[in-house]
Chains A and B, each alone.
Chain A
Amino acid sequence: MAEIIKVEHLAKTFGTNEVLRDIDFSVSSGDVISIIGASGSGKSTLLRCINLLEEATGGKILFHGKNVLAGDMNEDEYRTKVGMVFQSFNLFSNLSVLDNCMIGQVKVLRRGKEEAREYAMEYLSKVGMAQYIKAKPKQLSGGQKQRVAIARALAMNPEVLLFDEPTSALDPEMVGEVLDVMKALAESGMTMLVVTHEMAFARDVSNRVIYMADGRIEEEGSPKDIFSNPRKEKTKDFLSRFRSERGE
């Protein structure tokens, strides 16, 4: 499968705090990669560096072979191809649901209004939010907001979609509706990189799992490798701690 993103020796420090160290991995078309790890291990920072919301302090991010960090590619153009779904939704609160899904297409991709509306409706239908086009974000529940945020990201037709704990800010009864949408996306072949604490999602939906600890990739493998035969002690500890917390 074609490689889309390759991260090489990525590093990030905040002051003297080394948050990411020597991160290496790659994302190929159709991959659904779950990133798991303890709080503070650098998962969000990794996604934010990939999306250029944080500036990495070392290493390379290659997008189809072009080093984005070295300016081989226009940053804004790169961002349209790498979508992001945030824990806190970040829907534009001054715009309706429909406009949230259209503005990027019209202003950034320069699509015509009609075309943009068709794409927006297509993806809003996919996430089951087509009826809510006139609503403002604050009129929606958390799960609905997140589904609109997913549609907004999809409407840009990105090659990869990054998710940073998309269900962590949701009430438990709304987690399912968002996970269902993500699962359907994964099945439709969307390339996804998902930071999550939903171990069932990581195990059942993704084809690869990355376990992070202290800013490093501690272990990477298939869900079966990571969940059934973890090689590293840290991974075992994390998973058993996680299971006991959840009472599994």
Chain B
Amino acid sequence: MIYIVQNYGGSLLSGAATTMAIALICTFLGCVIGFAVGLLQTAQPHKKDGAIKRGILRVVKLVLTAYVEVFRGTPMMLQAAFIYYGMGSVFGINLGMWSAAIIIVSINTGAYMAETVRGGILSVDPGQREGARAIGMTHMQTMMYIILPQALRNIMPQIGNNLIINIKDTCVLSIIGTVELFFTFRSISGALYTYFEAASVTMIIYFVLTFVCSRILRAIESRMDGPANFDLATNDTLAFTSGLTKYNDKTGGLH
């Protein structure tokens, strides 16, 4: 084991870096795709929209549903082969290793995230939307400032989950030759015939990556929640925030 670490430490680390880079980029892009798709899927036609607009929305929703179902319903390893070799032989487009890897994992994550986001949006209390509409916010403003922030908070655990899954699942990219952590493991074990030791070291690395990520995500979640307690504003800060003139000691504060 020590031998592996001494001689292959560098390539293991760069494999780990590749894995992390792909996982982070793809989870992020997957979230962007997921939010876009989830938003469209929960969009309701405006009551004044004509038949054409309604028709377009319905077709778009159908296509998106197909995307979600297909990419959730097939193994990512096959999707990788399909897209990488398919682009090459059918369209003659040679995707670089990196772009192929990123495209595949992103759209795969996007399919999962779309469902998560849809659920996250639907789980926000309808009263929140009504409260926003009642003060004149447009649909877009309601989404941007009220619904999506709450949906995002609700689905943070699943986003974290997706990141962890992506860290591990990038290993299927070794099928198209991406030199990530798992690929490095196979090279080492192939060269040295020390499967057990190589597997142990690689597993430890995977575990450290996922464990650190999940702790960081927890920290982000509790930051989003804000402090568990709040301070009562004192007269000084009140005077400050209200521009000194407005706050009246007699009418303010508690009854």
Contacts and interface: CB of A to CB of B under 8 A. Distances in A.
A205 interface: no
B242 A118 contact: yes
Contacts of A95: 146
B200 to A, nearest CB: 45
A192 B238 CA distance: 29
A59 interface: no
Interface string A72-99: 0000111110011010111111110010
A107 interface: yes
A167 interface: no
B243 interface: yes
Contact of A79 (B133, B238, B248, B255): B133
Contacts of A131: 232-233, 238, 252-254
Given A121-B241, A136-B230, A90 B130 contact: yes
A128 B254 contact: yes
Interface residues of B, number: 37
Contacts of B247: 121, 125, 130
B242 A117 contact: yes
Nearest to A104: B135
A55 interface: yes
Contacts of A53: 130, 133-134
A51 interface: yes
A-side interface size class = 35 or more
Contacts of A152: 135
Contacts, number: 119
A132 B247 CA distance: 14
Nearest to A135: B230
Contact of A86 (B127, B153, B226, B254): B127
A125 B134 CA distance: 22
B246 interface: yes
Nearest to A117: B241
Nearest to B137: A108
A134 interface: yes
B149 interface: yes
B138 interface: yes
A76 B137 contact: yes
A107 B134 contact: no
Contacts of A132: 230, 232-233
Contacts of B207: none
* Residue from B134, B141, B150, B251 with most neighbouring chain A CB atoms (10 Å): B134
A83 B135 contact: yes
Nearest to B147: A94
B223 interface: no
A149 B136 CA distance: 15
14 contacts: A76-B137, A77-B136, A86-B130, A90-B130, A92-B128, A92-B145, A118-B246, A131-B238, A131-B252, A131-B253, A131-B254, A134-B230, A134-B233, A136-B230
Interface of B: 47, 125, 127-128, 130-138, 141, 145-146, 149-150, 153, 226, 229-233, 238, 241-243, 246-248, 251-255
